[in-house]
Amino acid sequence: MAFDPILALITLFLLGGLFSFSSWQKFSDLASFREVLMDYGVPATLLPVLVLVIPLVESSVAMGALISLFNPVSYSILTGAALLAVYTCILSVFYFTGRKIDCGCHFGDAGEPINGWHLVRNSVLIAMTLSYFLPQTGRMLIWVDYFTALVAAILMLIAFSIIETLRQNDRYFERVRRVN
């Protein structure tokens, strides 16, 4: 079964947006990102390197995804899937061992302990990333396909953002209910 090539296009826009935002968030506050890595138990000797390498790799994935719009390059897609998979494995270890640490998703702004939602969210993102490699029909893409794919990716990113905001609000109101 072959899929419409717009699915791969949506994946490229989604990866480009996701990893652009993720790397920008880290670069804009390297000190907080360093704290997140320390919470995850990264050895002190690796911290100076990983604080810079991880956002650089994320930036490379974002740029590679956008370059793939014009010249299909699957290494960036595989790297993005691998980054998500490694991160999900690390989250899984903390979740299943019961270690309660901040997920690091918001750099301590409205942190929450690692939970099942993080595993589900990342698994969905991995599946969406790997969908790029599904067989495609030979249909030629036209300008409206690019526009549609961009809007679809933006809406998906907005949906993830809304879900995260609702989860933050739920935690906030839970604390308020406990006080009252």
Q: What pLDDT is attached to residue 111? A: 65
Q: In a 10 Å sphere around its CB, with 0-12 CB exposed, 13-18 middle and 19+ buried, how is residue 62 labelled?
A: buried
Q: How far is CA 77 from CA 8, 19, 29, 96, 116, in A?
A: 10, 11, 26, 28, 25
In this structure, what are the phi and psi dihedrals at residue 169, rounded to the nearest 5 degrees? -65, -40
Q: What pLDDT is attached to residue 104? A: 73
Closest CA to 111 of 41, 27, 47, 175: 175
Q: What pLDDT is attached to residue 108? A: 47
Per-residue tokens: 175: 């604390």
Domain spans, the chain: 6-179
- Specify the pTM: 0.85
Q: What pLDDT is attached to residue 106? A: 60
Residue by residue, pLDDT tens for the chain (180 residues) are 899 999 999 999 999 999 999 999 999 999 989 998 998 899 999 999 999 999 999 999 999 998 988 877 778 899 999 999 999 999 999 899 988 887 777 644 556 778 888 899 899 999 999 999 999 998 999 999 999 999 999 999 999 889 888 888 887 888 788 887
Q: Report the alpha-carbon distance of residue 73 to residue 84 in Å, rounded.
A: 18
